[in-house]
A and B are shown apart, each in its own frame.
Chain A
Amino acid sequence: MVGARQTPVGAAEPPPPDGVLDVEQVGKTYPGGTRALREVSLRLRAGQVHGLIGANGAGKSTLIRIVAGAERPSSGRLRWHGEPVGWRTPADAQAAGVAVVHQQSPVAPALTVLENVYLGARAGGLWRARERQADFQALCASIDFRIDPYATVATLSIGDRQMVSILRALAQRPRLILLDEPTASITPAERAGVLGAARRLAATGVAVLFVSHFLNEVSEICDVISVLRDGALVDAFDAPDMTHERMVAGIVGDRLRDVEAAKPVHSAGAAVLEARGLRSARMAEPVDLTVRRGEIVGLAGLLGSGRTSLLNAIFGVDRRIAGDVLVDGRRVPCSPAAAVKAGVALVPEDRLAQGLVADWPIWRNISMADLPGLSRRFWLLNPARERALAQRACRELGVVAPSIDTPVKDLSGGNAQKVVFAKWIYKTQHLLLLDEPTAGVDVGGKADLIKLIRALAARGLGVLVVLSEFEELLSVADRVVVMNRGAITGDLAAGQTTVAGLTAAAGGLT
């Protein structure tokens, strides 16, 4: 337990619980017709930590942008201390007393902690060192955090940088502070500091809106929780009524259930991938790994355990220092082009940066990986064939889009990911490498993708998949290979292990 737990809503607290910000029936429809928010109402009270949870694409970010003044609601309104407000820019919201801490806050790495905290602060143009220093110590004391104000930010850990962002928000003396996934990229030890800071902030009478994917954190520090799904507020409850089941049910709805239940058992065939003593420039240890035809092998590990590096080494993205990759028994030279030729596909982690050309329509993205195969003789493009393939792929994978001429940047995460899959599944013959295929995909899209991965394996592809969510990994994989600090430390049958077991193994506890 982090920090002193405040008594829940309505009970006597040092500052009386009044509404700092009321969100009233706020809806947001984008020009494309996408409804990101539907009549959402919440009340953010002084002295409370208000948790906001929901799947990706549920509308959390849109709501935060509206509260922070970065976007205007299409319907409904905001009330600030009871007064209706119409913020047009983030500066308006900031002037009123709203501060935002983003997942990866833009801090100026070359400046000191102190300079970062007061970056952009207006004080008559003067840098009053002594006052700043005293103010800084007061801020630090208020969240019980110690740091050298003259340390350069570039030398700090990511967790400490996150604390600097929080201090920077505090320096604005906000009445409401928005914490948008503040713990997403930091270590567990540092999380305690951030969570404790959130609690202490609330104790000083600030209203805190805490957005996180980590349900344990939410249940640890929040007084009130609101759940968004598909843009609508589907559940809201106070701390005493909070259970994990209720949170998960609110987030997920009932979509993933049938996927979880129906897990086919199929027998694996001959080895389709053999990595022997494989080591790339980015890998710490040589790795041996075999994937069989029709088998889905999950790679489990913590951030930085070398899972992505292993996929990249197999695909030939990183230079190979040692070892061999055999696909279907044949040695594959080290280059993505050679791997593609050998019947291997990689669905990368960051689909817009690595998997797609954002401005291009769906059909051109799908044909990108097999352009020579889809063309006539003499390199002559055959758009009719490319478009027919895209048409078929969108139908079979259930891509929701106005047409195959829609630019992929306008698609939701799940649909964009289906387009990345569509690039490969019609051409790849042997091995599919998937790096976090469900990241940033909403729950329904996840279910589709998991079904698709299973269907592909059932058709004889070998699949090697990295998934950080161990529940998902166990639900999709036949076998789980555990990585720790660049080495393979375990090889488990998915049916015989649990999330707890995997967590322990990935953490090096085996």
Chain B
Amino acid sequence: MSAADPIDAAPTVSARIRPVLAGLRPQRAGVVYALILLVAVLVITTAAKGQPPYLSSVNVSNILSQAAPDAILAVFMTIVLISGNFDLSVASVAALAAALALKTIDSIGTAPAVLLALAVGAVAGTINALLVQKIGVNAFIVTLGSMTAVRGVVLIALGGESVTAQSRSLVTLDNTLLRVPPPVALAAGVLLLVLAVLRVRRITDATAPPLDGFFLALVAAAVLTLVVPVAAPAMLTQPLPVWLMLWVTVGVSAALRFLVPGRNLYAVGSNAQAARLSGINVDRYKMAPFVLTGLASAGVGLLYAGRFNSVDPNGLTGTELIVIAAAILGGTSLFGGAGHVGKSVLGTIVLFTLSNGFNVINLGANYQYVVQGVVLVAASAVYTVAARSRRRAGPPADAGRATAPRVPGGEPLSPAVSGS
């Protein structure tokens, strides 16, 4: 009887391909299509206007280094959103870290100033976490409050004026150019390709999970890593923040996918009650993202401080909204349990490409907010409509069952009570 049971049958290739193709649908890969479309429009427009090529290494590096700090924030914002929470305080915390670091760096030295900034970020995140999870105040309200209050602390600390430091170490942090030798990049590309091929070879292996969007991302990453060293070797030289963005994105998305805490984070965000009853420490998974985000915000604040070696009291205002918009563009659910950090980073890059494009083709910068807003709402509409039409396709919960239940007849029922 086992052979006839679909549960036991070896999966067919087509059944295994379907999830990969599903990963290509607009509601899953929408942010990728948006980026491709946007870049195509800009490339054609600049070419038609006789301007220098849009996709030059210089311009792309420019966009990447502008987007990098916000993209790092978007990664952590995505973690908070997956856990089912919300954090509006990231920009204020980053500004506070920047202000403190610049104010103290000349007197106490670089390392203590950096540690102080990071510690303040972690404390801010911990306060958010405690208020949300232990007291039970809504995360939106808590972080709206901490966003405002922390901004107030920045204003008090700076006395309403910008601050500048003599020390150049933060500037170095932001400006250091790192170059990956082309052979190293090629080797990394080959490695990614090998991983992808190994994964495809197990396509009909029932013990391997079906291929999905992550596989597509792997292939895309392999292709990019192989193409860039050949086509645009200049792109292999990037400032530290861009590499940081890349490492954080790769590291966090791998952790979310391959480690137990990653899986548990999605479980807690999807259904906290079920996670708790499964023995998962829900408090920990609801609180840790706030603390991590506070820490990361402080880190981004240091990058920001290094960019200009000065910070003014209203610096970074509005960044939290860009970051949340980026996560939403990347398809992250505001209700928790769903989201991919890589797509949030792409969302950030879309937003920065938009503003960069407006500058390049000399459309007034005033229009860019209108377009950003429209893009954001349009993206959400696509995701929402797609999710709804998928829900409709399934049978309702109380649908009568057509198949008779299969009693495990003569088979011994052998749940090992002594553990598996």
Contact = CB atoms under 8 A, between A and B. Distances in A.
Nearest to A55: B400
B415 A372 contact: no
B337 A444 contact: no
Interface in A371-405: 371-373, 375, 378-381, 383-384, 387-389, 391, 394-405
Interface string A34-64: 1111000000000000000000111101100
Nearest to B275: A368
B218 to A, nearest CB: 15
Nearest to A402: B6
Nearest to A259: B407
Contact of A356 (B6, B19, B274): B274
A177 interface: no
B401 A380 contact: no
Interface residues of A, number: 91
Interface in B322-367: 337-338
Contacts of B259: 378-381
A354 B277 contact: yes
A451 B405 CA distance: 13
Contact of A396 (B19, B267, B279, B411): B411
B146 to A, nearest CB: 28
A62 B405 contact: no
B204 to A, nearest CB: 13
A434 to B, nearest CB: 13
A429 B6 contact: no
A106 B11 CA distance: 44
B277 A315 contact: yes
B110 to A, nearest CB: 33
Contact of A37 (B2, B260, B400): B400
B258 A381 contact: yes
Contacts of A404: 7
A369 interface: yes
B277 A336 contact: yes
Interface stretch (A194-202, A295-303, A454-462, A494-502): A454-462
A410 to B, nearest CB: 6
B415 A456 contact: yes
Contacts of A32: 393-395
B232 interface: no
A412 B277 contact: no
A456 B417 contact: yes
Contacts of B267: 357, 360, 368
A451 B206 CA distance: 29
B415 A230 contact: no
A317 B276 contact: yes
A380 B258 CA distance: 6
A150 interface: no
A412 B405 CA distance: 10
Interface centre among B394, B404, B405 (most CB of A within 10 A): B405
A144 B44 CA distance: 76
Contacts of B405: 398, 400, 414, 442, 444-445, 447-448
A415 B395 CA distance: 14
Contacts of A426: 415-416, 419-420
Contacts of B411: 395-396
A90 B363 CA distance: 50
A230 B7 contact: no
Interface stretch (A15-23, A325-333, A337-345): A337-345
A383 B209 contact: yes
Contacts of A358: 270-271
B159 interface: no
A459 B417 contact: yes
A371 B260 CA distance: 7
A460 B263 CA distance: 32
Contacts of B406: 398, 400
Contacts of B166: none
A348 B401 CA distance: 22
Contacts of B420: 370, 373, 389, 426-427
A396 B403 contact: no
Contact of B274 (A57, A353, A391, A444): A353
Contact of B7 (A394, A412, A427, A455): A394
A173 interface: no
Interface string B3-33: 0011110010001000100000000000000
Contacts of A391: 7-8, 206-207
B207 A387 contact: yes
Contacts of B417: 425, 428-429, 456, 459-461
Given A317-B276, A429-B419, A456-B417, A62 B398 contact: yes
B7 A399 contact: yes
Contact of A412 (B279, B401, B414): B401
Given A32-B394, A339-B279, A379-B260, A387 B413 contact: no
A34 B400 contact: yes
B116 to A, nearest CB: 31
Given A381-B263, A384-B207, A395 B8 contact: yes
A340 B276 CA distance: 10
A57 B395 contact: no
A355 interface: yes
Interface in A197-221: none
Contacts of B274: 353-357, 368
Interface in A426-467: 426-429, 440, 442, 444-445, 447-448, 451-452, 455-456, 459-461
A188 interface: no
B160 interface: no
Nearest to A446: B405
B402 A356 contact: no
A231 B402 contact: yes
A391 B6 CA distance: 11
Contacts of B8: 391, 395
B311 to A, nearest CB: 38
Nearest to B260: A379
Contacts of B278: 336, 340, 368-369, 423
B401 A230 contact: yes
B260 A372 contact: yes
Contacts of B225: none
A359 interface: yes
Contacts of A415: 401
Contacts of B273: 353-354
Interface string B385-410: 00000000111111111111111100
A373 B396 CA distance: 34
A370 B277 CA distance: 12
A394 B262 CA distance: 25
B138 interface: no
Contacts of A346: 277
Given A336-B279, A357-B337, A459-B415, A403 B260 contact: no
A396 B417 CA distance: 14
B207 A388 contact: yes
Interface in B265-294: 267, 270-271, 273-281
26 contacts: A30-B399, A34-B395, A34-B399, A58-B400, A65-B396, A231-B402, A336-B279, A348-B277, A364-B263, A371-B264, A381-B258, A394-B7, A395-B8, A397-B408, A399-B7, A400-B405, A401-B7, A402-B6, A403-B6, A403-B7, A403-B15, A414-B401, A427-B420, A440-B398, A445-B405, A455-B415
* 8 pairs of A and B residues whose beta carbons are closest in the complex: A340-B279, A30-B395, A444-B405, A35-B402, A59-B400, A425-B415, A36-B400, A384-B207
Given A230-B404, A372-B260, A400-B401, 17 more contacts: A31-B393, A34-B400, A353-B274, A357-B337, A359-B337, A381-B263, A383-B208, A389-B420, A391-B207, A400-B405, A402-B6, A403-B6, A403-B7, A403-B11, A405-B19, A442-B401, A451-B413
Interface of A: 30-37, 56-59, 61-62, 65, 230-231, 315, 317, 336-337, 339-341, 346, 348, 352-360, 363-364, 368-373, 375, 378-381, 383-384, 387-389, 391, 394-405, 409-410, 412-415, 423, 425-429, 440, 442, 444-445, 447-448, 451-452, 455-456, 459-461
